[in-house]
Structure 1
Amino acid sequence: MTAVRISGNLPPNIDCTKAPIAFGRRAVPKVNEELQNPELITRQRALMSLCDLVHDPEIALEAMRLGCLESLKRLLRDVDSTVRMKTTEVFYRLATHNVGRVAFLKSDVILPLSQLFDEPVDVCRKNMHMAIEMMSEFPGGAVGLVEAGLIPRLVFKLTSELEEIQELILDTLHFCLCVDASEALASEAVSVLKEKLSHRSARIRNKAARALMDLSLGVQVCNLKHTLPSVPLEGKNKLCEEEVIPILVTLLGDPSPEVAASAAGALMSATVTTPGKYAALNADALPPLLGLVRSPQTNVCLNAVKAITVLAEAPEGRKELLKHLDLLEDLRGHDSEVTRRAAETAMRVITWKP
């Protein structure tokens, strides 16, 4: 006679590390209840399940509507490092959705997240910076980060953070500096970024040069509350005073085309002032810039042409560039219309006569 045998092992599709998901509309409320459970293992398993659920933007929206953000903000202060790690991961997953970023602003999530700047667990800090970086890509999020006063802290952390986190900070600063550069300038950001131009990582050199370009551009952004100040000259003058321009000229010969493009862009904005022009000319910037004009990469070529145009406004620069008009003439057949227009502008400036 056949006997029935029931295995003592769990089914293969059951994950013991995750909380069982309730059926239908009860799924998110049940997880939210377990996030507030005093038992550690219950909170951990609920967070594991929530990480999977919030990949779906509809479920993410429901989670925020049902008050999960408040539960998660409390868990950022949990004594257990695993809870903090998974909580920051959930925040990052939510920040990838537009509805999540909007909800972050409404629920004042930025400051609770920023309290983890000195978190001892590296993964927690990385997840937190990933979430903040995603916030900064959203215009309202960048304004929110600036208004929360995070720029000085981000600049300070560039000097001590892990390399991969430094990249995230530089990305965040890029979007924040497009809103307001004054706090970064007051926090000695130029000196910090100047050091990063010599970093072994090409990605960090590239992003540091891009941030310096942001500092010297001086952008003004308006939001619903007030108009944030622009910094049209202070950033440019600071780059001259800190002797950053000769380093940017050196980076024009960097093996990475992206670094060279960002360096040319930073020179383009920093040399708008007369001291900036002569600092670049004295550093012999024209030969490497003319070399980049032949680059097959559009962003490298375009930034080089724009930097050349600015330097051509100085009599010494115009005199030297008159010998290379044929090089710019060749760009009239470039595939990029923007590059063609930039080359025509450069030729008008170079051939201008008083």
Structure 2
Amino acid sequence: MANYSLVRVFVEKLYTEVREAKLLLLDILHNMMEYTDLRKDVLDTPAMKYFTEYLHSSDEEICAGAARCIGDLAVETQGKTQADGSGTVEVLTDHILGTEKERRPSMAPIVYALMTILIDVEARYRVLKRKSGLLERVVRLAYHPCLEVAVNCIKIATILAESPEGRRFYLENLPKVEALQDLPEPGLRRSAEILASVINWKP
């Protein structure tokens, strides 16, 4: 109970307009959410709403901190559900579809957060219905200079390829997908091979 009260205090203070306080609170909550019980306590607050609002910040550190926290919450099924129902998925996807954040520090946690959420089948189908451009975009981002961004984009493509629409798109663009297996980084090649196997799978 004491821990929950403390979590709620930190979440409520996210309303602050002071930049340094925002960054500190995001860091504290991120560290707290390493623990399952505290992560679940955060899920029982309006934290997802505040984190999503922070994604609109022009401050890269605040945006990155919010995305990290969303990724923490999305580890839990309840977190995926909250993200899918609160507009979080759309905001994350719009950041990935746009080019303004492509080379900025917030890109890695944004991609990770979306990847974690899309493990949920319903979220996956809804994002494809509303943001079909994501299918092509994540393949392009597999060439991103940040390894974390690149590998997680291939993982997103693999998740999306498990849906009929995603698989159909990648089969129609198979040369681009297969080209990923020639990437120089071994980890990327392994991820690309898994993607290709999902696309080419036959019952």
Task: Show the counterpart of 1:258.
Answer: 105
Task: Show the counterpart of 2:45.
Answer: 187
For 1:198, the aligned partner's letter is H
Kindly name which structure, 1 or 2, has the bigger radius of gyration based on alpha carbons. 1
Q: Of the candidates 66, 71, 74, which is equivalent to residue 216 of structure 1?
A: 74
Say if 1:198 and 1:353 are closer, same or farther in 2 by CA, change over 3 A. Answer: same
C-alpha displacement of 1:335: 3.7
1:327, 1:168 → 2: CA distance? 42
Task: Show the counterpart of 1:324.
Answer: 173
C-alpha displacement of 1:149: 4.5
Q: Aligned residue pairs: how many?
A: 195
Q: Of the candidates 267, 292, 295, which is equivalent to residue 114 of structure 2?
A: 267
For 1:183, the aligned partner's letter is D
1:323, 1:204 → 2: CA distance? 39
C-alpha displacement of 1:147: 4.0
Structure 1 contact 158–192 (Cα < 8 Å) conserved:
yes
Instruction: For residue 195 of structure 1, give the secondary structure of its aligned residue in structure 2.
Output: helix
1:173-211: CA deviation from partner (whole Å, max 9, x where unpaired)? 222112132111111111111100101101111121121
C-alpha displacement of 1:314: 0.8
Structure 2 contact 60–104 (Cα < 8 Å) conserved:
no
Q: 1 or 2, which has the higher helix percentage? A: 2
2:84 is aligned with 1:240: yes
Q: Which runs of 5+ in 1 are unaligned?
A: 1-145, 219-232
Task: Show the counterpart of 1:12.
Answer: none
2:13, 2:27 → 1: CA distance? 13
1:335, 1:258 → 2: CA distance? 23
Say if 1:290 and 1:241 are closer, same or farther in 2 by CA, change over 3 A. Answer: same
Query: What are the within-5 Å matches in structure 2 for residues 1-354 of structure 1?
Result: 147=3, 149-180=5-36, 181-218=39-76, 233-252=77-96, 253=98, 254-255=100-101, 256-282=103-129, 283-284=131-132, 285-354=134-203
Quote the RMSD (CA, aligned, Å): 1.9
Instruction: For residue 198 of structure 1, give the secondary structure of its aligned residue in structure 2.
Output: coil
Say if 1:279 and 1:257 are closer, same or farther in 2 by CA, change over 3 A. Answer: farther
2:191, 2:23 → 1: CA distance? 31
1:196, 1:288 → 2: CA distance? 23
For 2:9, the aligned partner's letter is R
1:289, 1:348 → 2: CA distance? 17
Q: Which runs of 5+ in 2 are unaligned?
A: none
1:203-225: CA deviation from partner (whole Å, max 9, x where unpaired)? 1111211211110113xxxxxxx
Structure 1 contact 258–300 (Cα < 8 Å) conserved:
no
1:156, 1:339 → 2: CA distance? 40
1:164, 1:185 → 2: CA distance? 24
1:214-241: CA deviation from partner (whole Å, max 9, x where unpaired)? 10113xxxxxxxxxxxxxx111111111
1:314-352: CA deviation from partner (whole Å, max 9, x where unpaired)? 111111122333333333343433222211111111211
Percent identity, aligned pairs only, is 30
TM-score by length of structure 1 reads 0.52
